[in-house]
A and B are shown apart, each in its own frame.
Chain A
Amino acid sequence: MDPIAKLDESITTAPENIEAAETLSALEEVETRLLGKDSVVGEVRRSMGGLEKELRPKVGAKLNEATGLIQDLLDEKRNELQDQELELQLRDEAIDVTLDAVSFPRGRLHIIQQTIDEVIDIFVGLGYQVADGPEAELAWYNFDALNTPSTHPSRLESDTMYLDWGDPRDEVLLRTHTSPVQARWMESHEPPVYIVVPGRTYRTDTVDATHLPVFHQIEGLAVDENIVFSDLKGTLLHWAREFFGPQSQVRLRPSFFPFTEPSAEMDVSCFACDGGEPGCRVCGGAGWLELLGCGMVDPNVLEAAGYDPNRVSGFAFGMGPERLAMVRHGIDSIKHFIDNDLRFLGQF
């Protein structure tokens, strides 16, 4: 038979053969049959050498045509079958996406730590440094340096834990606030001073829903030339807006602390309701949350630190991260903070 006719027949029958293959392995057999050594194409390729010279180009061209056409059909079919197989595989290996099959370990920072970090970062953003000091502290730094009279009730053993340690003339106690760090910092630094002091503090208190014998405070102190009361207000307003949201308002009310004069309590407008919604879960309808004590640094405190109260002035404030966290997250008992129950800590 004429090789060209053979090749033509091959071309004609190839689609049918190829289409009949249902799997990739069947397609490979088809490929061998159509293009392999014993196929028509293979035979013709082998016989090329024996052809008459003038026939060769024609047969050669036909051979290339047939090979190309068949190869294209095979490739097309192979793609189709591969797609089908992948399709099946994907269907077979589907997973239940609602099954938590793999759990990466997740730890947390304690919510008090998170609260402290968030607060101090706001002040760091304002140019403050973060200071630290001893928890077992000299009574001098805890009280005297902060203008606390020797007869002030806060010095009583009913309020302050004293340590059975050291020279009785240098009485050592567990600091009742973070303010002694103020005194220490001022003693070793010249103004300007802009610091925040987060830390642990101690009071003789029994554990109940709102009291712990050991809790945390975040203290702030700014001493510089030309610091006025309005700066205290503006600084705390900035803090409140960063912490509770840009709609926050602050309210200062006169109060009394030995280490500030004038002294104030600061309230922040309730973040949960729009000002005194009756029965609000956060403010109970008051519209304001009592959050911190503050004031202008008492001249006696500046003098005790060796600063000249006629040249510099300053303000100080103190807040409780436990209270902040309780208010913000609706935590009903301060005791949760020391149980270290993963079911509690894992919520934050």
Chain B
Amino acid sequence: MKVPLRWLQDFIELPTTEIETLTTALNTVGLTVEGVEELGIGWSDVYVGRVDAIESHPDADKIRVCQVDSGEGTRQIICGAWNFEEGAHVAVARPGAILPGGFEIGQRKIRGVQSNGMICSESELGLGDDHAGIIVLEGEPEPGTPFSELVELPDVVFDLDITPNRPDAMSMLGVARDLAAFFDTSFRVPEIVVPEIDGRTPVQVEIVDALGCRRFTAREITGVEVGPSPFRVRHRLAKVGVRAISNVVDVTNYVMFELGHPLHAFDADTIVGDRLVVKRASEGETLVTLDDIERDLTPEDLIIYDDKGPTSMSGTMGGARSEVSGQTTRVLMEAASWDPPTIMYMARRHNLISEASARFERGVDPSLADIANERASAMVAALTDGKVLAEAVDVIATPIEPALIELRTQDVQRLLGPGFDAGYISGILTRLGMSVQGHEPLSVTVPTFRPDLTRPADLTEEVARIHGYDRFEATLPTGPSGGLTTEQLRTRRLASVLVGAGLTQAINLPFVSPADLRTLGQPGGSELLTVKNPLREEESNLRPTLLPGLLNSIRYNISHGLPSVALFEIGKVFTSEPDASDPRLPVQFDTVGWAVVGEVGIDGVHGQVIQADGAVSIGIWRLLAAGLGLEDVDLRSSSPPGWHPGRTAEIVLAGEMIGHVGELSPRVARDFEIPGRVAIAELNLAPLTGPVAPPISHSPSVFPPVDFDLSFVIANDLPVAKIVRATAIAAGDLLESSSVFDEFRGGDLESASRAVAIRYRLRAADRTLTNEEVAPTRNAMIRAAEGLGAKLRGA
């Protein structure tokens, strides 16, 4: 909300007008300053002038030659505007004047005729957006009067961000009240004098929905002459960002900014019958609002009816049928107290969020309705030469009681510290408009303009706010000892192993497109967890797997010229199954996945690199399993949909299948527009990061090893891990290490078979091994392999 300092000063005696001090004060009390605009700075030498004569320009049709007295005798000024006549009072920039933007006014010839200065428009003076014509001043001010005296300039406009709990602060009055409490200075509400004539406002009001409308006040002003507002009103409205419309409508806006209560003006002659009814709309009803849009009303909409039907929407926008126009002579001024949620939903439903709805949905003080109505009626009467009928309509459907809160000093001290005594507390609360009686507990009566204050904690905040958050010390609580859990530490370790392997962590939005799932050959129907109100189609299904996100990220990088991409992600996946531990929630758990394409590993300008494929993925898995100290791990050939059927393993950890590691089906890769092979994996996170037994150390042997290689011919579908495991068992305690160092197919080998070469190292802990000891072990190992169908090569 924009708050011009000069307007604010109607309500408060400020100890300073220094911008920095005021900004700090406003920020301190929680009225956050989002911007400060200084108006009327950068121009000078603008005075009131009277146009004494107007002649046409000899050489131009569109401009006129004016003789203007601006306090130093009559001077000739050329003007291109046509919205004034002889005798008009205008704003004159004399030669030498500087206008906003540093534009200097001089004496010059326009089409051969001398012009001494400029007659100004609002926009030229930076006062508003009206540049259709020049400013015509009301009230015949004395020529030569500095223009700034008429228009409250210079001025400072603070743009405040008002939090939703402070409807009262959405007005000059409310901001002034907070500042007065902060500066401990005087605050005044200007007296309202209503020029009344006898008469009774000739409508009755019936409130059918007492929850939706607590109070409805209406007052008639008669003999109204609708026209433009005086410059002073228009100018204040311009400063707060509201466009001037007419003297009647401008007053409703003016009073809303001044007191915080929105108003609505009806053309009283357009109301059919003499009865207004406030009730919810019926299905099928429509109402054409002021913006000429026909709106379909819903049974939740709160509507004002006359005998003909809906005539106005509560708190959001009036109806076109009862709009104040140039012909209006009788105005019915409405100030009503609407239910905040009703207005909130209605404003959103009909896309009618406005200054008025913003106030009503926060909660406008019902006690203010009659005051705002009086103020507005008095102003309309003054600006339109109208008369206010003495008797107003004021229907209170739900009585308004100020809240009473019992506040103990210790309630405040428990949150703010021991320094706050009863006297200090009641001083602040009193300055904020509350009345404080008694002692321990303090009995605090909260005025109705602060609906947000209902409990001791709310009052504690008020004390803290006006005391100033800046004045609190900075201390630390003596917390107990914390730390990361095993799972959290091991998740970090998992990530660092993958980072060490050259993978970069990705974060994708956790949504999935059913088309991507279909491409992966995975179900994309009712198994998916779906969002009821997605903003975009892409955000309607929660992912059951990390893979589509990773593959799309791979494609994104490739399409930007990066052919080698290694990404991993840790995140939640979802399904529409109920969760076993809390069936009110769907299944959701963390997985870790990766996707790697292109070159991997150490890259050298002189050497070759490895291209990502299923084997690379298994290599990453082995590194990860080793890095996490996982034991009892089995890899079993597997062919889940979307994966390469011959290059994928399911990972079985301690007997539990925890996911897959391998290669993306080349068909899927093609559909994802990824050239080349893609190493992929997705594994449940929890089994990987659960606690593992600490490794038990054994001292490395100091005796020499015996190394030998065995080469076996085995069937392609016999997992080499089985050979390794069987030979290891046969070697017993003597085996220190074994590794497959070669795999060979083709040549003189039978098809469907291959040769694998394994290097073994035997070593005893306590002696040097002899050939006599090694030979039988080696034979036992060979026999073990042969038992699985392997043939020793070259044997």
Cβ-defined contact, A234 with B475, below 8 A: yes
Please indicate the chain A residues that have their CB under 8 angstroms from the CB of B748 in the complex. Answer: none
Name A264's closest neighbour in chain B (CB-CB). B469
Q: How many contacting A-B pairs (Cβ < 8 A)?
A: 266
Shortest CB-to-CB span from A17 to chain B, Å, is 45
A337 to B507, CA, bound (A): 7
Name B342's closest neighbour in chain A (CB-CB). A151
Among A104, A107, A313, the most chain B Cβ lie within 10 Å of the Cβ of A107
Shortest CB-to-CB span from A168 to chain B, Å, is 11
Cβ-defined contact, A338 with B507, below 8 A: yes
Please indicate the chain A residues that have their CB under 8 angstroms from the CB of B27 in the complex. Answer: 253
B139 within 8 A of A: no
Cβ-defined contact, A233 with B474, below 8 A: yes
Please indicate the chain B residues that have their CB under 8 angstroms from the CB of A166 in the complex. Answer: 578, 584-586
Point out the residue from B474, B485, B504 that lies within 8 Å of A237, measured CB to CB: B474
Question: For window 149-173 of chain B, which residues contact chain A by CB distance below 8 Å?
Answer: 163-166
B402 within 8 A of A: no
Interface-side segment among B266-274, B414-422, B427-435, B737-745: B414-422
A151 to B212, CA, bound (A): 14
Please indicate the chain A residues that have their CB under 8 angstroms from the CB of B423 in the complex. Answer: none
Given contacts A102-B604, A343-B560, contact A174 B531 (CB under 8 A): yes
A213 within 8 A of B: yes
Q: Which residues of B contact A (CB under 8 A)?
A: 27-30, 32, 163-166, 340-341, 344-345, 348, 361, 414-417, 452, 455, 457-458, 460-461, 464-465, 469-470, 472-477, 479-485, 488, 492, 495-496, 498-511, 529-536, 539, 542, 553, 556-557, 560, 562, 565-568, 571-572, 574, 576, 578, 584-586, 588, 600-606
A182 within 8 A of B: no
Cβ-defined contact, A262 with B461, below 8 A: yes
Cβ-defined contact, B535 with A213, below 8 A: yes
Interface-side segment among A4-12, A58-66, A73-81, A223-231: A223-231
A339 to B507, CA, bound (A): 8
Shortest CB-to-CB span from A224 to chain B, Å, is 6
Shortest CB-to-CB span from B459 to chain A, Å, is 10
Point out the residue from A138, A255, A256, A342 that lies within 8 Å of B504, measured CB to CB: A342
Please indicate the chain A residues that have their CB under 8 angstroms from the CB of B508 in the complex. Answer: 338, 340
Question: For window 150-200 of chain A, which residues contact chain B by CB distance below 8 Å?
Answer: 151, 153, 156-158, 161-167, 170, 172, 174, 192, 194, 200
Point out the residue from B417, B470, B509, B602 that lies within 8 Å of A105, measured CB to CB: B602
Name A261's closest neighbour in chain B (CB-CB). B457
Please indicate the chain A residues that have their CB under 8 angstroms from the CB of B535 in the complex. Answer: 204-206, 213
How many residues on the A side are at the interface (Cβ–Cβ under 8 A)?
Answer: 91
Cβ-defined contact, B483 with A129, below 8 A: yes
Given contacts A254-B464, A265-B32, A341-B556, contact A101 B605 (CB under 8 A): yes
A229 to B472, CA, bound (A): 8
Please indicate the chain B residues that have their CB under 8 angstroms from the CB of A135 in the complex. Answer: 510, 572, 574, 588
Cβ-defined contact, B348 with A172, below 8 A: no
Please indicate the chain A residues that have their CB under 8 angstroms from the CB of B534 in the complex. Answer: 161
Please indicate the chain A residues that have their CB under 8 angstroms from the CB of B460 in the complex. Answer: 261-262, 296
Please indicate the chain A residues that have their CB under 8 angstroms from the CB of B578 in the complex. Answer: 166
Interface-side segment among A36-44, A46-54, A108-116: A108-116
Please indicate the chain A residues that have their CB under 8 angstroms from the CB of B164 in the complex. Answer: 153, 256
A13 to B599, CA, bound (A): 65
Given contacts A136-B588, A254-B29, A338-B507, contact A113 B557 (CB under 8 A): no
Please indicate the chain B residues that have their CB under 8 angstroms from the CB of A129 in the complex. Answer: 482-483, 485
**Could you list 18 A-B pairs, sorted by A, with CB under 8 Å?**
A99-B605, A104-B502, A107-B499, A109-B496, A109-B499, A127-B481, A134-B585, A136-B585, A164-B532, A166-B585, A192-B480, A204-B533, A204-B535, A222-B477, A229-B416, A299-B457, A339-B553, A340-B507
